[in-house]
Amino acid sequence: MKSRPRLVRAISLSVVALFLLAGASDCGQAIKSAIAAVGKGSDDAAKVVVHSAQPSELNSAAKNLDDLVAKVPERGSLSPQELKIIANAEDRAAAFREFATLLGVSDGVSSSITSESWILVRGSLIGGSHPSDAFVAYMDNLVKGLVKDTTCSSFAALMSAQQTQDVAQYTTTFTRIQPSEAGVRKGVEDHLTTAGYMLEEVRWFLDTAGFSSKIVGTAKGYVGKMKSAVSATAWNNSGATNAYLRLCVFN
């Protein structure tokens, strides 16, 4: 597994000044100081790169912003510019919570690929056939990589040009080609041939066409599950990029 740089940073200590300033005797100065602290906290939070974060860390960052905003006194007297600073902080806190949800789903997909892909093999064995234990074990191991690769290809095909550029900074194997059942089937058969299996014999006990179709359908289902976990705004505003990196590059 590739090591992940720890990119989630603690909110700057200067932000904590809000809690000290809220009780200042000069109310006007307290408000200005509080707004400045919220702005600084929001800017710091915006630097977080969430693809390496844990959902709990993102939720914690969101709570920190919520706490900062809650300490701003007399919000009714704020200027439009000050209200915008508050709104930006609230938006970022909400975005962090959505990212936390998305990354949690991405981690669940990764776990499912590892623990459940063997089901696709069993569902593609031809009834009444008796493949060797060695062949079944080989397919159980092979299918994990096939499902992950197909999921990542399906995921990449949905990404925008900007998201593609963002991902390209971290990997040289990124492709936006939508996987097809025919392409996956060819990949399956190429793997089998390389491993020394005769395709004519394999087809007696494995439905390679049905197997490939199941892989593509499963992959698209995983991507759909991740995309539906968050709003379209969160997905488009780096959510998809970070979920892809989480599942396909740093995992």
pLDDT at residue number 43: 52
Q: Distances in Å between the alpha carbon of 247 and those of 124, 130, 188, 189, 212?
A: 26, 35, 22, 25, 21
Q: Mind listing the pLDDT tens digit of every residue in the chain (251 residues)? A: 444 433 333 322 233 223 223 333 344 555 556 556 655 555 555 455 445 578 888 888 888 888 878 877 666 777 788 788 778 888 888 888 898 899 999 999 999 999 999 999 999 999 888 999 999 999 999 999 999 999 999 999 988 888 888 888 888 777 777 889 999 999 999 999 999 999 999 999 999 999 999 999 999 999 999 999 999 988 988 889 889 998 998 87
- Distance (Å, rounded) from C-alpha 103 to C-alpha 54? 8
pLDDT at residue number 85: 77
Provide the residue count of the chain.
251
Say if CB 182 and CB 215 are below 8 A apart: no
For residue 49, give the 3-state DSSP assignment.
coil
Displacement of CA 134 from its chain's centroid (Å): 34
Render 74-105 in DSSP notation, one character per residue.
Answer: -GGG--HHHHHHHHHHHHHHHHHHHHHHHHHH
Task: Scan for tokens 């630097």, then name that residue.
Answer: 47
> Residue 125: what residue type?
L
pLDDT at residue number 2: 45
